[in-house]
């Protein structure tokens, strides 16, 4: 596979669009306003972090062996599963105990973004053009 994070980012965006549409059209008359808000929060965070995964995949093309980028990608994927997945299940199945899982997904998101920031801060500036091309 050319890029695992590009693949998971694209799949996550696909699922996020589907879940968002399902929530907007199929669940609006079924769920309480509170549960519908939780569901839409899951869909929104899934979409933003799917884009984050795609961004990590693109940055990783220039540095495929970076452990920071690798960890950031896996933590972002784990965050999507735990955060968005638990909110979907909480809203649809009314499983209140799943609310305990959601913060672990949120922490995964935070750590992924932190690792990406650390990577960006450590990455030396390189020019695409040599001095003779100026």
Contacts of 66 (CB under 8 A, 6+ apart): 60, 119
State residue 99's pLDDT score.
86
State residue 131's pLDDT score.
47
The percent of residues in the chain predicted with pLDDT above 90, rounded, is: 83
Residues 47 and 17: beta-carbon distance below 8 Å: yes
**What angle, rounded to 10 degrees, do the helices at 33-60 and 85-93 form?**
160
Q: pLDDT band at residue 126, thresholds of 50, 70 and 90?
A: low
Q: pLDDT band at residue 76, thresholds of 50, 70 and 90?
A: very high
DSSP 77-120: HHHIIIIIHHHHHHHHH--GGGGGTHHHHHHHHHHHHHHHHHHH
State residue 128's pLDDT score.
53
State residue 133's pLDDT score.
38
- Closest alpha carbon to 48 in 12, 101, 91, 78: 12
- Whether 132 has a pLDDT exceeding 80, the answer reads no
Domain-by-domain residue ranges, the chain?
4-122
pLDDT in tens, 10-30: 999 999 999 999 999 999 899
């Amino acid at each position: 596979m050319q890029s695992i994070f590009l693949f998971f980012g694209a799949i996550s965006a696909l699922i996020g669009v589907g879940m968002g549409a399902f929530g907007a059209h199929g669940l609006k008359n079924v769920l309480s306003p509170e549960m519908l808000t939780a569901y839409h929060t899951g869909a929104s965070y899934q979409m933003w972090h799917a884009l984050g995964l795609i961004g990590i995949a693109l940055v990783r093309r220039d540095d495929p062996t970076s452990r920071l980028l690798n960890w950031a990608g896996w933590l972002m994927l784990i965050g999507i599963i735990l955060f968005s997945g638990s909110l979907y299940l909480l809203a649809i199945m009314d499983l209140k105990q799943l609310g305990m899982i959601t913060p672990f997904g949120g922490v995964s998101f935070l750590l992924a973004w932190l690792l990406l920031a650390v990577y960006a801060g450590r990455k030396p500036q390189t020019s695409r053009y040599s001095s003779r091309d100026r």
